[in-house]
């Protein structure tokens, strides 16, 4: 579609929304302020750059073996550049500890240093991208028992306490370098396949270990901490130490953010419904947007009902500045850079649709007790021309609108697969 036709469609949409009391310019300004944190691990199947080789573990499984994996940090960054070039707005990158630049040396996780991530800080600064960070508590010999911070083995606990403390130090380093806090999120795979007898003991052990991890206080201007729960995982089907209730209590006591992952709850449980409840008691939340299909399968995010409901709840709660949104998925069966573009654009579209909701009209109907008008107007709103507003958003940010980005990322991947061949 030509720029002129996009402008014409937008003007028509703007008038339609104005008739319902919605200011499209205000919605576009709000959307432009959103900075999604993209998961670097989607770009290379959670491989990272440790010299250790071996399969993933700790409930992490990547399906598919599509060729064209980046073979170096430089190739990975080139892929990310291709992704960000197709996204409207200025966004972030979410790193795991296994993505350090270790110079071909074996650096175990209890020995990582900020220097191993200085190249990422430089790259982010050169592109105006801010970075977030995660400890990597899986795919390691000291995680093979199924326990890390909650391990009954003091030696194993000490290793992971040291790793997590160093990961937080890396996050604080990134925050200082970028002049804005990095979010450090902590997820561990600890749990058991069958029901244990020592649930309480394992949870008391985890709480004590977390106290050691968080013993060093970093300035809020450099680092913000979040803890992430899970209902179950592969190898922890019956018991997960870090349940939602556990981390809810711990975060409240320790002054940390709660991280809600859309795939980490029961399939029929609404994550959207949790947002406004938690915002009453927590100043900020972290959201990991994923798409579980029957289980926590980390499918590529789409603009589906769950994502739309989460976006609506954030906007309706007036919490755009209080909910940090990161994506969390990994799929090796599809075009990897394309999956990042698709996931990010899907979340942005969901937020735009929520920002364009005729909220005042809907609230008036609700407050008048007119349930029919409320439901009917909400249904009619689904057909409003938000797509024309989205295309205008893309146009203003100099990125391809509509489906025009698909051939570009398809051709990019074709060249990468030709140059790189199969798996690295």
Active site residues: 187, 228, 230, 261, 264, 288, 296, 298, 328
Residue 42 in contact with residue 331, Cβ under 8 Å? yes
Chain-centre distance for alpha carbon 37: 6
Closest CA to 58 of 234, 297, 291, 299: 234
The per-residue DSSP string of 226-246 comes to EEE--S-BTTBSSEESS-HHH
H, E, C per residue of 67-133 = CCCCCCHHHHHHHHHHHHCCCCCCCEEEEEHHHCCCCCCCCCHHHCCHHHHHHHHHHHHHHCCEEEE
Q: In which residue are the tokens 């394992």 written?
A: 202
Q: Which helix (H) or strand (E) holds 27?
A: helix 24-32
Q: Are strands 223-228 and 323-327 parallel, antiparallel or unpaired?
A: unpaired
Closest CA to 338 of 80, 67, 76, 54: 80
Spatial separation of the C-alpha atoms in residues 376 and 54, rounded to whole Å: 55
SS3 content of the chain, % helix, strand, coil (to 5): 50, 10, 40
């Amino acid at each position: 579609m030509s720029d002129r036709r996009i402008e014409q469609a937008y003007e028509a949409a703007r008038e339609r929304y104005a008739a319902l009391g919605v200011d499209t310019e205000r919605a576009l300004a709000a959307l432009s302020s959103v900075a999604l944190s993209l998961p670097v691990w989607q770009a290379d199947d959670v491989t990272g750059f440790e010299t250790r080789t071996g399969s993933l573990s700790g409930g992490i499984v990547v399906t598919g073996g599509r060729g064209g994996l980046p073979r170096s940090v430089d190739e990975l960054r080139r892929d990310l550049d291709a992704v960000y070039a197709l996204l409207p707005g200025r966004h972030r990158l979410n790193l795991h500890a296994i993505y350090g630049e270790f110079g071909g040396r074996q650096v175990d996780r209890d020995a990582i240093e900020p220097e191993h991530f200085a190249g990422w800080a430089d790259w982010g600064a050169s592109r105006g991208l801010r970075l977030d960070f995660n400890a990597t508590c899986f795919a390691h010999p000291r995680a093979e028992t199924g326990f890390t911070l909650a391990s009954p083995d003091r030696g194993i606990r000490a290793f992971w306490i040291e790793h997590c403390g160093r990961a937080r130090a890396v996050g604080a380093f990134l925050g200082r370098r970028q002049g804005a806090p990095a979010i450090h999120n902590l997820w561990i795979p600890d749990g058991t396949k069958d029901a244990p007898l020592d649930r309480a003991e394992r949870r008391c052990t985890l709480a004590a270990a977390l106290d050691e991890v968080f013993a060093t206080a970093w300035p809020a201007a450099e680092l913000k901490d979040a803890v992430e729960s899970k209902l179950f995982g592969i190898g922890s089907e019956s018991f997960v130490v870090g349940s939602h209730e556990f981390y809810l209590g711990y975060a409240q006591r320790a002054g940390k953010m709660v991280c809600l992952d859309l795939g980490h709850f029961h399939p029929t449980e609404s994550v959207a419904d949790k947002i406004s409840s938690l915002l009453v008691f927590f100043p900020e939340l972290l959201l990991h947007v994923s798409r579980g299909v029957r289980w926590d399968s980390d499918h590529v995010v789409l603009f589906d009902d769950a994502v739309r409901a989460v976006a609506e709840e954030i906007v309706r709660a007036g919490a755009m500045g209080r909910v940090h949104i990161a994506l969390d998925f990994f799929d090796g069966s599809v075009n990897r850079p394309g999956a990042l573009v698709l996931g990010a654009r899907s979340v942005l579209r969901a937020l735009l649709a929520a920002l364009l909701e005729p909220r005042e009209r809907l609230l008036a109907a609700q407050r008048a007790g007119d349930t029919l008008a409320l439901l009917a107007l909400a249904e009619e709103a689904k057909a409003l021309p938000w797509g024309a507003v989205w295309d205008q958003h893309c146009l203003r940010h100099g990125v391809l609108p509509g489906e025009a980005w698909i051939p570009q990322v398809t051709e990019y991947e074709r060249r990468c697969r030709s140059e790189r061949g199969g798996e690295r």
